[in-house]
Structure 1
Amino acid sequence: MSVPVPSPSAVTAVPAARNAEALAHFAARLAFETDVSDVAADLAAGVTDIVVVDSRSREGWEQGHVLGAVHLPTALIAERARSVVPSGVTVVTYCWGPGCNGATRAALELAGLGYPVKEMLGGFEYWAREGFPVETVAGVSRRSVDALTAPVSGIACAC
């Protein structure tokens, strides 16, 4: 009688990194990325050492943007960053959402100019889906929280 051999795990087919490598990797990710909840908390608290940059087109900006963000399309960063983003701040970039790398391109441009920069994970999509204030020419509004992105109670997920 043979003992069945369990099939290999899809998760562990490639072993997890050693602890030192994992520590370096995850610390590095947090140095490069932030999330919409942390950005919203800082903006609501009036934190002055960050500037949130919307790197989308004028049409995207007008459709709705993060309340308190500045509009600086990626193609104009080299030309306009010094007049729009003060020195001594950390820049947080965003674009449409997780399927768009516009915030990454904008962060690269800003880093090349010497700014400390982080990318806001989830972009405008998750900002709006989590119910944070969206500004348009018509004013400021909030959408209902999407239960797949945040607690609908409004209480932070405390991740």
Structure 2
Amino acid sequence: MNEPQPKYSLVLETPAASPEDTHRHYTNKLAVETDVSDVRYDMLHGLNEFTLIDVRSRKAYGECRIPGAMNLPSGEIDEKTTASLPKDRVIVVYCWGPACNGGTKGAARLSGLGFRVKEMLGGIEYWRREGNPVEGALGEEATLVG
């Protein structure tokens, strides 16, 4: 009789972390990320404990943005451009969407300047996909990608 050949697991090739290490990993991840629905929930309930920053270009921001967001393109973040931002508030940054790393770059630059920052996963693309309001010259007609 032919016995089945052992199969190699790509999932288990690297052993799973301990529950403690896994908990620490995901807690740390949540400390630096948020998502569209959490941002919208806070906005709807008047929980304005964070500053929302769109790190896309001025053009993209002018065409379509989340209401209440300020614009600070990620490549322009430095001590001078952030001088008026309060360091006692968390900053939430967003970019185009999952394929854009502008939010990550903005968060890195801001945290390097001493700000507490979270990146909004999904960016304006998922903000719009979830049916949330936008403002700007083109609003809903603006492109979903940069």
Q: Same fold (TM over 0.5)?
A: yes
CA distance in 1, matches of 2:98, 2:9: 28
Q: How does 1:3-152 map to 2 (within 5 A)?
A: 3-78=3-78, 79-83=80-84, 85-137=85-137
Secondary structure, in 3 states, of the residue corresponding to 1:53? strand
Indicate conservation of the 8 Å contact 1:54/1:69, yes or no.
yes
| Counterpart AA for 1:82 | A
Indicate conservation of the 8 Å contact 2:53/2:94, yes or no.
yes
Task: Give the alignment's TM-score, normalised by structure 1.
Answer: 0.80
Indicate conservation of the 8 Å contact 1:77/1:109, yes or no.
yes
Report the Cα offset of residue 66 of structure 1: 1.1
CA distance in 2, matches of 1:41, 1:4: 52
Report the Cα offset of residue 6 of structure 1: 4.6
Deviations 1:84-143 (A, max 9, x none): x323110001111111110111111111221110011111111111111111136x66xx
Secondary structure, in 3 states, of the residue corresponding to 2:76? helix
| Counterpart AA for 2:81 | R
Identity %: 45
Moved over 3 A (4+): none
CA distance in 1, matches of 2:49, 2:122: 21
| Counterpart AA for 1:23 | H
CA distance in 2, matches of 1:47, 1:113: 25
CA distance in 2, matches of 1:46, 1:82: 26
Q: Which runs of 5+ in 2 are unaligned?
A: 141-146
Matched pairs, number: 140
Mean Cα deviation higher: 66-75 or 91-100: 66-75
CA distance in 2, matches of 1:87, 1:76: 18
From the superposition, tell whether residues 66 and 6 of structure 1 become closer, same or farther in structure 2 (CA, over 3 Å): farther
| Counterpart AA for 1:96 | W
Indicate conservation of the 8 Å contact 1:43/1:68, yes or no.
no
Indicate conservation of the 8 Å contact 2:93/2:119, yes or no.
yes
CA distance in 2, matches of 1:137, 1:47: 27
From the superposition, tell whether residues 130 and 6 of structure 1 become closer, same or farther in structure 2 (CA, over 3 Å): farther
